[in-house]
Amino acid sequence: MISPEEKLSVLRARVDEALKTAVPEDTPSPLGDAMRYALLSPGKRLRPVLLLSAHELIAPADDEALRFAVALEMIHAYSLVHDDLPAMDDDVLRRGRPTCHVVYGEGMAVLAGDGLLSLAFQTMLESSHERALRAALVIARYAGTGGMVGGQGLDLAHEGALPDRALVERIQTGKTAALLTAAAEAGLVLAGADEALVNAGRRFGHALGRAFQIVDDLLDIEGDQKLLGKTTGKDQAEGKLTWPAAVGLDQARRDAARWTDEAVDALGPFGSGGDALRDMARKMLKRLS
Amino acid sequence: MISPEEKLSVLRARVDEALKTAVPEDTPSPLGDAMRYALLSPGKRLRPVLLLSAHELIAPADDEALRFAVALEMIHAYSLVHDDLPAMDDDVLRRGRPTCHVVYGEGMAVLAGDGLLSLAFQTMLESSHERALRAALVIARYAGTGGMVGGQGLDLAHEGALPDRALVERIQTGKTAALLTAAAEAGLVLAGADEALVNAGRRFGHALGRAFQIVDDLLDIEGDQKLLGKTTGKDQAEGKLTWPAAVGLDQARRDAARWTDEAVDALGPFGSGGDALRDMARKMLKRLS
């Protein structure tokens, strides 16, 4: 019997392997190199692993599920490349390495992001049955203006504003929770889960996303730059709209725990099959201690 | 009997009407405003009109065809917004108006482009039957790294290089011909055309695209800035890889005519039903005289 933790590492290894060949070899250079640099950057692969794990709650993850997992990581990677641009967050360090535009220039970084987003949809559209379509639409909705891009837009528009609680909630729901919700929901849709289970997965993804962003905000205040592989203390210096800024440090810590509980609770309908995802949620919170 | 020219204006009016409500009202401000500014910017609507016209070679264009036409214009609009950024072409004037980043700032322009591309796929994925899927995949392929984004990547990577003929051909095939090919091919696929007709449409779109870009290059040298609504003479000043730079002015004029002939010739299988598209091709060339 393999442990929940082992299960997640097996899925992560599958994702890492598939990512290596995900950008077509005939992509013009250096555009293809910039896309690979962004996509293969060391990371937790949280979204693709979540998609596969959600799929495995119902049925073993097949090659199609893996293709969708890769597509979701492409969307995540593109959003980081564009978010790091000087006109946006102006970050030079990401996951311990120079950001894409530092290495390849700003123009190529814009195009690498565009290329990754286009390739994500192309990858999903290679499947043509009904579940795959529904899953692709789920991902399109959460990735776009009603989800991730919308949250980034709100964030950018309110830079330097007072950290209003409702506003920060909308931003974090879009910027972070949307893609995690998409991962859980799309994985279940692909696997053929019924509506009640898809709803449970959506609730899990949203709660995990909220917990994840609050933990991330807290780590930016309390974390170790070397351990995290990115610049810390930037949020406060730049007057970023974070959860701790909106509700205070202590309440933010309580909220991270509360959302983690909510995530674990949402997995009820899956019984012990949900252990790997429970483990994922609890580990996220443990990064704080 | 309505003339080919009237037919194209009727289709264009349908596109213009549909574009007005294409960006969801609940898109956060000013992200939604920036997206609408880019999408509703005055233009010829060449790609969506081509998609609808190609569809009408086989069957009347329905609401689904119109949705795909709108999606294609979103992809075109996003590519212009990103292309105009300071890190790319650094253009401040487009279709006679300040470019998106001049009005909304660079960061918001990056996001507006991302939002338009995401919304394009979301719009196409709202249809779930087999033809729609195939058409969406056609558009994804031509819009991505194997088409438009790939061409832009090549262009950016070779800025200031000697205008090698084969290189310029690859760039223009990607940057311009790809989306026009996608328009013709997707319209025919949506309408249920057989393979031979889809191939004829692809040949037409490619030839039209090549002619269009060569004419555009020539107008940048010989055209009137006020009439065109954009800065002229920029290509040469910036050492851009244009067709006239690769083959000379006279040969470029001959090639524009040759690709126009090729486009008209490709319409043979459609008989007199192809008159509106023949008209479109010939008018494009006439912009030079």
- For residue A143, give the nearest of B118, B149, B150 by CB distance: B118
Q: Does A167 touch chain B (CB under 8 A)?
A: no
Q: How far is CA B250 from each of CA B200, B244, B247, B253, rounded to the nearest angstrom?
A: 29, 8, 8, 5
Residue of B nearest to A82 (CA): B110
Buried b (16+ CB within 10 A) or exposed e, B179-215: bbbbbbbbbbbbbebeeebbebbbbbbbbbbbbbbbb
The DSSP result for A88-119, as a single string, is TT--SEETTEE-HHHHH-HHHHHHHHHHHHHH
SS3 A76: helix
Distance in angstroms (rounded) separating the CA atoms of residues B140 and B125: 12
Distance in angstroms (rounded) separating the CA atoms of residues A79 and B181: 28
Give the residue carrying structure tokens 């290059």.
Answer: B217
More confident residue, A137 or A225: A137
Residue of B nearest to A29 (CA): B154
Question: Which residues in chain B (168-187) have CB-CB distances under 8 A to chain A?
Answer: none
Q: What is the mean pLDDT of residues B189-196?
A: 98
What residue ranges in A157-196 does DSSP mark as E strands? none
Q: How far is CA A224 from each of CA A56, A83, B155, rounded to the nearest angstrom?
A: 34, 22, 41
SS3 B26: coil
- For residue B149, give the nearest of A105, A111, A134 by CB distance: A111
pLDDT band at A206 (very low <50, low <70, confident <90, very high): very high
In this structure, what DSSP letter does residue A270 have? G
Residue B226 has pLDDT above 60, yes or no: no
For the domain bounded by B4-286, which CATH number is listed?
1.10.600.10
pLDDT of residue B237: 73
Q: How far is CA B9 from each of CA A165, A277, B43, B284, rounded to the nearest angstrom?
A: 50, 55, 13, 15
* CA-wise closest residue to B118 among A123, A114, A64: A114
Residue B57 has pLDDT above 80, yes or no: yes
What pLDDT digit, counting tens, does each position of B147-173 carry?
999 999 999 999 989 999 999 999 999
pLDDT band at B95 (very low <50, low <70, confident <90, very high): confident
User: Percent of chain A, pLDDT > 70?
Assistant: 97
Average pLDDT of chain B? 94
Helix, strand, coil % (nearest 5) of chain B?
A: 75, 0, 25
Provide the greatest CA pair distance for chain B: 51
What residue ranges in A218-269 does DSSP mark as E strands? none
pLDDT of residue A231: 66
Give the residue carrying structure tokens 């946006």.
Answer: A88
The DSSP result for B263-288, as a single string, is HHHHTGGGGGGGHHHHHHHHHHHHTT
More confident residue, B236 or B94: B94
pLDDT of residue B231: 66
Q: Are B243 and B168 in contact (CB under 8 A)?
A: yes
Q: Does this complex have an ipTM over 0.90?
A: yes
Q: What is the mean pLDDT of residues B210-237?
A: 80
A93 bridge partner residues: A98
Q: What is the mean pLDDT of residues B245-255?
A: 96
pLDDT of residue B14: 97
Residue B206 has pLDDT above 90, yes or no: yes
What are residue B185's phi and psi, to 5 degrees?
Answer: -65, -45
Q: Choosing among B35, B99, B145, B170, which should be mutated to test the A contact, i.e. which has the most A CBs within 10 A?
A: B145
Q: What is the mean pLDDT of residues B71-78?
A: 98
Element (H, E) at B93: strand B93-94
Question: Which residues in chain A (11-70) have CB-CB distances under 8 A to chain B?
Answer: 23-24, 26-32, 35
Residue A89 has pLDDT above 80, yes or no: yes
Angle subtended by helix axes B46-56 and B178-191, to nearest 10: 30
* CA-wise closest residue to B75 among B132, B13, B152, B17: B152
Q: Choosing among A121, A141, A152, which should be mutated to test the B contact, i.e. which has the most B CBs within 10 A?
A: A121
pLDDT of residue A228: 62
pLDDT of residue A51: 98
Angle subtended by helix axes B106-125 and B63-83, to nearest 10: 160
Q: Which residues of B touch A27 (CB under 8 A)?
A: 145-146, 150, 153
CA atoms within a 13 Å half-sphere pointing along the CA-CB vector of B181: 23
- The bridge status of strand A97-98 relative to strand B93-94 is unpaired
pLDDT band at A129 (very low <50, low <70, confident <90, very high): confident
The CA distance from B274 to the nearest CA of chain A, in Å, is: 30
Q: Does A272 touch chain B (CB under 8 A)?
A: no
Helix, strand, coil % (nearest 5) of chain A?
A: 75, 0, 25
**Domain boundaries, given as residue ranges, for chain A:** 4-286
